[in-house]
Amino acid sequence: GAVVSQHPSWVICKSGTSVKIECRSLDFQATTMFWYRQFPKQSLMLMATSNEGSKATYEQGVEKDKFLINHASLTLSTLTVTSAHPEDSSFYICSARWRRRHEQFFGPGTRLTVL
Amino acid sequence: AQKVTQAQTEISVVEKEDVTLDCVYETRDTTYYLFWYKQPPSGELVFLIRRNSFDEQNEISGRYSWNFQKSTSSFNFTITASQVVDSAVYFCALKTSYDKVIFGPGTSLSVIP
């Protein structure tokens, strides 16, 4: 099956710093990528949808200025958490899809801890 | 409204027991897709099955089976002869015409040896 990678797999940062998370589709072209956030013992919540070459579409309640998403190529999307605070500590998962196929392929996730 | 409900928050079974995880969904769309994912402690989601709204056939894959009933808007998942490796959080998910995947709250399954 299709493979999606994320880097880093975990990151610890100080409050106020920015953190960038990469999501790559390794063996297919991802026309659409999705970013999810998962707090401990909770479900995955969609943060935003990004189509290659277009601005991301954010879900209600997600601050677009805080969570910057760039999908500049068909194999790479990045999520930058700007001025991170402890409440941003979470598990961030990306998924990727080719065109409008129904299958999304999930990355292994990135665990962010903000001290 | 699009919604997925998994009423069982946590389930514990003894190894080799059968266990059924319930999933009830809500959507007004006539075309939609249902999924089950497994999330082991490592966190990585493992895709288990996809079913579209036009295909109500039940499916069996090894020890796993799925019962899709449109009349009750349910898509239940049964593990037969459970094993310790089945311990994980299981998510039921719904994809509709809005093109977003909505996840249920998840059911945490613990299989005790």
Of the partner residues B47, B50, B105, the one whose CB lies closest to the CB of residue A43? B105
Of the partner residues B43, B45, B50, the one whose CB lies closest to the CB of residue A103? B50
User: CB distance A43–B106 less than 8 Å?
Assistant: yes
User: CB distance A44–B103 less than 8 Å?
Assistant: yes
Dihedral sign from CA coordinates of B4, B9, B10, B16: negative
Average pLDDT of span A31-54: 93
User: CB distance A106–B44 less than 8 Å?
Assistant: yes
CA distance A52 to A76: 9
User: CB distance B47–A103 less than 8 Å?
Assistant: yes
Dump pLDDT digits (tens) for B86-101: 999 999 999 987 678 9
Question: Per-residue pLDDT for B58 more than 90?
Answer: no
CA distance B37 to B49: 7
Token pair recorded at residue A36:
């999810």
CA distance A23 to A4: 7
User: CB distance B50–A109 less than 8 Å?
Assistant: no
Looking at residue B98, what is its pLDDT?
Answer: 67
Q: Which residues of B touch A47 (CB under 8 A)?
A: none
Dump pLDDT digits (tens) for B5-14: 999 999 999 9
User: Min CA distance, B14 vs chain A (Å)?
Assistant: 22
Dump pLDDT digits (tens) for A44-62: 999 999 988 888 999 999 9
Dump pLDDT digits (tens) for B13-50: 999 999 999 999 999 999 999 999 999 999 999 999 99
Looking at residue B33, what is its pLDDT?
Answer: 93
User: CB distance B106–A93 less than 8 Å?
Assistant: no
Looking at residue B110, what is its pLDDT?
Answer: 98
Q: Which residues of B touch A34 (CB under 8 A)?
A: 101
8 A C-beta contact, residue B39 and residue B88:
yes
Dump pLDDT digits (tens) for A76-87: 999 999 999 999
